[in-house]
Homo-oligomer: A and B are copies of this chain.
Amino acid sequence: MASRRSSTTRGAGGRPRDPHIDEAVIAATLEVLAETGYPGLTLEEVARRAGTSRPAIYRRWAGRARLALAAIASRLDVPAPPDTGCTLCDLAEGFNVFLAAYRTIRPDVLSSLYAECAPDPELQARYLETVIEPSRRAVGETLDRAVARGDLRPDTDREQLLDVFGSLVHYRALFGRRHMSDTEAEKVVETLLHGVAVDYPALLARSEALEQAHPEASTAHHAHPSAS
């Protein structure tokens, strides 16, 4: 993640930055994040460990969140899209792609960090681009290939599926309920590919019949009457 100056101005006049400080600060940041998590990430402490001062950090990153993002970005590498020809395997592997970030960085750090990024649109975008988009792009390619190969239906909602991948991994990493194992990944993939309905067309027909009987019920925020 680029520092403030080099991303806004081309290397104009003025004393150049000491690159050792950049490195030391990023390293100190990762260290503190690993030890004490995001709430313990104090610019004071980072400066102390990096052997520099708070203003030097502010000159590079406009606040705690951006510093953390920069540090994290420096450790996450762009994932390769799974591509074995086996759609089932590739999709299961897709979960691992999303999981990579949570294995590299403590999930609670990502969670806290995102919480701090959320209110600021620009920050939020930066977070997504750093932590989530690379995985989406990789697995997105995998999906495209599967569709092209004729394994998935052509009208498959790409983004929706990616959301399911991303959200599930995030959710489980976060709420720590169960960590996403390969076995579970495959079970989810099975569900997504196969569906859970015994007889989907019948369910669809029933739904449409109901809808015609009570057309007003199709509006948003509706509540279905308890009677059938």
When the two chains form their complex, are residues A226 and B196 in contact, meaning their CB atoms are under 8 A apart?
Answer: no
A residues lining the B interface (CB < 8 Å): 37-39, 82-90, 92-93, 96, 107-108, 111-112, 114-116, 118-119, 124, 128, 132, 150-153, 156-157, 159-161, 163-164, 166-168, 170-172, 174-178, 181-188, 190-200, 203-204, 206-207, 210, 217-226, 228
* Chain B residues closer than 8 Å to A118, beta-carbon distance: 107-108, 111-112, 174, 176
List of 5 A-B pairs having minimum Cβ-Cβ separation, nearest first: A182-B222, A167-B171, A195-B195, A84-B224, A112-B115
When the two chains form their complex, are residues A188 and B160 in contact, meaning their CB atoms are under 8 A apart?
Answer: yes
User: How far apart are A116's CB and chain B's nearest CB, in angstroms?
Assistant: 7
A-B contact pairs, 5 of them (CB 8 A): A38-B115, A90-B224, A152-B198, A163-B172, A187-B225
When the two chains form their complex, are residues A210 and B86 in contact, meaning their CB atoms are under 8 A apart?
Answer: yes
| Partner of A226 from B83, B119, B177, B223 at Cβ < 8 Å | B83
User: How far apart are A208's CB and chain B's nearest CB, in angstroms?
Assistant: 9
How many chain copies does the complex carry? 4
User: How far apart are A12's CB and chain B's nearest CB, in angstroms?
Assistant: 14
User: How far apart are A92's CB and chain B's nearest CB, in angstroms?
Assistant: 7
| Partner of A171 from B86, B170, B178 at Cβ < 8 Å | B170
CA separation between A168 and B160, bound complex, in Å? 9
* Chain B residues closer than 8 Å to A200, beta-carbon distance: 193-194
CA separation between A225 and B198, bound complex, in Å? 19
A93-B223, A167-B168 given; name 11 further pairs at CB < 8 Å: A38-B115, A84-B210, A86-B206, A88-B204, A111-B111, A132-B175, A161-B191, A181-B221, A190-B225, A192-B195, A195-B195
When the two chains form their complex, are residues B160 and A167 in contact, meaning their CB atoms are under 8 A apart?
Answer: no
